[in-house]
Structure 1
Amino acid sequence: MTMNLAEQRNQPDLLAPAGNIESFFAGLEYGADAIYVGCRHHNARALATNFSLEEIARLKEYAHGHKVKLYVALNAIAREEELGELVHILASLSQIEPDGLIIQDGAIARLCRLYFPNLKLHASTLMTVHNSTGVEQLESMGFQRAVLARELTIDEITQICADTSLELEIFVHGALCFSYSGLCMASSFYGGRSSLRGRCVQPCRRLYRAGRQQGYFFSTNDLSAIGLIPALRRLGLAALKIEGRMKPASYVAAVVRAYRLVLDASEADEHEAIVEARDILREAYG
């Protein structure tokens, strides 16, 4: 694939989510440099529509025709009895050759390294990598990119960028987990559905009572780093990622449009672009 616009501008890719075909086209239309989709089996958003292997192959060709990268999420924990099926899925993906394969299970990383070395491995944020030593460990395991833990501060991200050579990606917008990403067991405990298997029922979003008080005590505000984009885009990050594979296409369109506006603004116009982008984001419902 020829160099995309972000590479030509020497700034991070804007990475958009697509849980269905409408969101895929919304991301393309409003300026995403890359789009990530879920394989219909074994991804951390099992309740999204997701895509078959045949659909992923077609999406990749279409995205590349528009100079946009396509990443595939295969980032659920794998059970022992699923390893055989995973080998077949990985074999198909190695033929498709997406621009990156987002995973969290070490077994999948090992299978790729042994049998499908052409697959470019991206460590999911669910691996909770939060320091430079963790990034170095991923590099030794054959990963090309680490999606850093969402709980990091901008100072911590800056330090990790300075101390490592691996491609780094961070989330800049979307829902946050009350627990550390990838470590929450509340859904399994209350609903019998594992968040590590992509089936979180989000007990943190429910109404609770404590004594005479009731409220949404565990429901976190969404991440929104639109005001930090001028600083973040100068750190040498590979990508700025939007969460939202469970969101509608209208949400994806609005959020991508807002972040594209700020990323494309000149230094002199950054403040005005951020103000306009915040107005757009206020209308983004998901």
Structure 2
Amino acid sequence: MNAEAIFEAVDKELWGVWFLIGAALVFFMQCGFAMVETGFTRAKNAGNIIMKNLMDFCIGTVVFILIGFGLFLGEDMVGLIGKPGLDIFTAYENFDYSNFVFNLVFCATAATIVSGAMAERTKFLSYCVYSGVISALIYPVEAHWIWGGGWLAQLGFHDFAGSTAIHMVGGLSALIGAKILGPRIGKFETDKDGKVTKVNAIPGHSLTLGALGVFILWFGWYGFNGAAAKSIDQLGSVFMATTIAPAIATVTCMVFTWLKYGKP
């Protein structure tokens, strides 16, 4: 084997390892979401929120194995869904374990986005049912359209790291859930005509936990965005964007709130 072939083999293996490291970083974002949501809500609800963030991943894993992964990356059926199957059990000697794990943690991220938007006003059982549905059906089907060879992919649609497949879908699910549930009890005071007369602040119980969650999420995003990179130059570009964008956004937000409210 010549030197060039050796280099190519090593390069392929290194990118395979980085792909799995990226998956581990995305999994660690579950901790970041849990800390952010717990820190910025009331202490009496901390246990409920932590349990939801744990169980949306665990329930999601079970249904993703049984249903979701097949609908996502199974053989394309008329551009809408993948062919359901249990290759993880029936063809395990040829199964793409790396791809499964990476897409599983992406699926879990789409599911956990909703938890924060509906914090402090969602029954635990209802949230468990939601986690199962989004992980088994909603995320796998729409992700198949984009990354599984579905109709959007056939039209040339491009999503590098999940801005549509994960964050838009998670965000829309959160918006719908928040609209259905309405505000937390005590958030608004109204008059007899239903007009809002006062908005009450409901501060979180731990800025420390909230800040920890922010840093964990930022750290995890290097894997979230970077694991799809195919070269060192591309990875460096992704890391640069993942560092600069949140930094500028944070400075902008601080300046705006400082000017508007008198406090940073």
TM over 0.5: no
Kindly indicate which of the two structures has a greater share of residues assigned to strand.
Answer: 1
**Greater helix proportion:** 2
Greater Cα radius of gyration, structure 1 or 2 = 2
TM-score by length of 2: 0.27
The normalised TM-score by structure 1 is 0.25
